Structure 1
Amino acid sequence: MTLFVQQLANGLALGGIYCLAAIGLTLVFGVLGFPNLAHGALYMLGAYLTFFFLTDVGLPYVVAILAAAVVLAFLGVVLERLVFHPLRNSPHTHHMIATVGVMFFLVAVVQEIWGTGFLRMESPVNGQVSVAGAQVSWQRIIIIVTAVVVLLLLTWFLKRSPHGQAIEAIEQDRTGAALVGINPSMVSMVTFAVSLALVAIAAGLVAPINLLSPGMGDSLSLTVFAIIILGGLGSLPGAIIGGFTIAIAEVMAATYISVGAGEAAIFIILIAVLAIKPTGIFGTVTQR
């Protein structure tokens, strides 16, 4: 029972990271209609920026994460304006090719600045807390609580704020939203900024637990794409449910069977769900 509680906490913490990253990717797909293949590289950049602000600049941990989120949000606006906006009338394959170029560029920049080796970011929060006899690190508790808070704030933003409501309107019907006065160009910039801020927060939360490397976003990209397909392309509830489901299944399978089984569990669940509902759990056909 103690081991189960321990791994459940690990699964919830991993699920929080997956959700934050998957929601950012879902927002971009829902608004612009193409998958951001550079999402993993942006996650990696967020971790390195948090490391920079924490160790080199000397900012407190929370402030370092927020600073990294602000930098990536600004980068999102720049990328949308300089890379993706000029391609707005092009086939989506052009956008995907552009995201691959961004991915290689970001990896090269990180390798040039921080090198190709591994870096370790010390956790500013040490110690553990006992939960039903299991010892759970405070860092994982922080990840779970922060993920829940960010998800609640994001829900409020999408449901109550004008910019959030505009994002949802564009997701539902881009042409109809434009006809009622919503500026798709502005919404695209806000969406990219929010997406990259979320992935920066996810990276900053997990950085003290995992080693930093230029390739740290590769496995996350594959998992996050599986999550948004499982939940339904463009569905935020699907990204949340899919993120926690896959994380817990991955951790439990790796604990009770093998590490390989944990990796396979992700795609076993994906195949099983798609066999029953090909559009994903909450997937629908979106008007464009």
Structure 2
Amino acid sequence: MELLIQQLFNGLTIGSVYSLVALGLTLVYGILHIPNFAHGALYMVGAYVTLTMMVQGGFHYLLAIVISILVVGLISVLMERVVFHPLRDSTPIQHKVAAIGVLLFLEALAHYIWGADYQQMPTPYGQVVKVFDLTFTMQRILIVVTAIVVMILLYLFLKKTYTGATIIAMSQNREGAYLVGINANKVAMLTFFIAGALAAIGASLTSPINLVFPSMGHLVILKAFVIIIIGGMGSVPGAILGGYILGFSESLGATYLFSDYKDLIAFVLLVIILTVKPQGIFAKGGV
């Protein structure tokens, strides 16, 4: 029983990170209606910025995360202005090629600045907490709590503010949003900033229990795509639910089935869910 509870908590931890990354991806898809393959590179840059601020800048972990949020958010906005905005009237394949180009550029830049070696991010929250026979680390608890708080704040922002309502309007009906006077450029820039911030938070939270390296975003972004397809393309609730479904499935699957192939669970789950419900859990999509 203790093992099951332990693995459920591990699944909650993994699912929290997956949900944060998938949320940024699904918000961008809701605005542009294209998959942003460069989102994984933003995740990677977020980890490196936090690591650099802590190790070389001497900043506290939490302050380093704030700096990472700002830096990656601005890089994401710059990506939208320089790459995607000029291609707004182009074919979807051109957007995809451009996104892959940004991904390769950011990875090459990371190689040049930080090198190809694996690095470990320090954390002031490495303490171990024991509850009965269960063992948790403060870092994992921080991941779960922070992710849940961020997702609640994002939901309130989207549902309770005028600015959030413009993002929802753009994702549901772009032409209608234009007609009622919504500034599409501002909405796109804000959405990309939020997406970059979510990627930076997810990477900064999980890096102390993993490793930081230039290609660290590859597997995460593949799984994020699986999540938003499972949950429904462009759906915020779907991204959150899909992230936790995948997190629990990987944790329990690696423990009770096969640990060597746990990364395949995402794609097996994708096939199963789409066989039952091809349109995803939240069929209509939209925020």
TM-score by length of 2: 0.97
- AA aligned opposite 2:242: G
Deviations 1:8-59 (Å, cap 9, x if unpaired)? 1111011110000000000000111100001111111110001011111111
Q: Which runs of 5+ in 2 are unaligned?
A: none
In the TM superposition, residue 265 of structure 1 has moved relative to its aligned partner by 2.1
Cα displacement string for residues 151-195 of structure 1 (whole angstroms, at most 9, x for unaligned residues): 011011111222211000001100001101101111111110000
Corresponding residue for residue 277 of structure 2:
277
- Deviation track 1:195-240 (CA, whole Å, cap 9, x = no partner) reads 0000000000011011111111111011110000000000000000
Q: What amino acid sits opposite 1:80 in the alignment?
A: E
- Tell me the CA shift for residue 261 of structure 1: 4.2
Amino acid at match of 2:216: M
Residue 9 of structure 2 corresponds to 9
Deviation at 1:285, TM superposition (A): 6.4
Match of 1:209?
A: 209
Give 2:233's aligned residue: 233
Q: Tell me which residue corresponds to 1:266.
A: 266
Q: Structure 2 CA distance, aligned partners of 1:200 and 1:213?
A: 14
Counterpart of 2:153, as a letter, is L
Q: Partner of 2:128 in structure 1? A: 128
**RMSD over aligned Cα atoms:** 1.1
**Contact 2:233/2:285 (CA < 8 Å) preserved in 1?**
no
2:97 pairs with 1:93:
no
Q: Distance in 2 between matches of 1:239 and 1:132?
A: 33
> C-alpha distance in 2, partners of 1:23/1:124?
27
Task: Give the structure 2 partner of residue 68 of structure 1.
Answer: 68
Cα displacement (A) at 1:259: 1.9
Is the 1:37–1:100 Cα contact (8 Å) retained in structure 2? yes
Is residue 166 of structure 2 the alignment partner of residue 166 of structure 1? Answer: yes
Q: What CA deviation, in whole Å up to 9, does each residue of 1:50-106 have, x standing for no partner? A: 101111111111111111011111111111111110000001111111110100110
Contact 2:118 2:211 survives alignment (8 Å): yes
What's the CA shift for 1:130?
A: 2.2
Q: Percent of counterpart pairs with the same letter?
A: 46
- Residue in structure 2 matched with residue 84 of structure 1 by the alignment: 84
Q: Name the stretch that deviates more: 117-126 or 45-54.
A: 117-126
The Cα of 1:6 is off from its aligned counterpart by: 1.4
State the TM-score, normalizing by the size of structure 1.
0.97
Q: Aligned partners of 1:226, 1:77: CA distance in 2, in Å?
A: 24
- How far residue 133 of structure 1 moved from its aligned partner, in angstroms, is 2.0
Unaligned runs of 5+ in 1: none
Match of 2:142 in 1: 142
Please tell me the residue identity of whatever aligns with 2:64.
A
Partners of 2:43 and 2:285 lie apart in 1 by 28
Contact 2:228/2:238 (8 A) holds in 1: yes
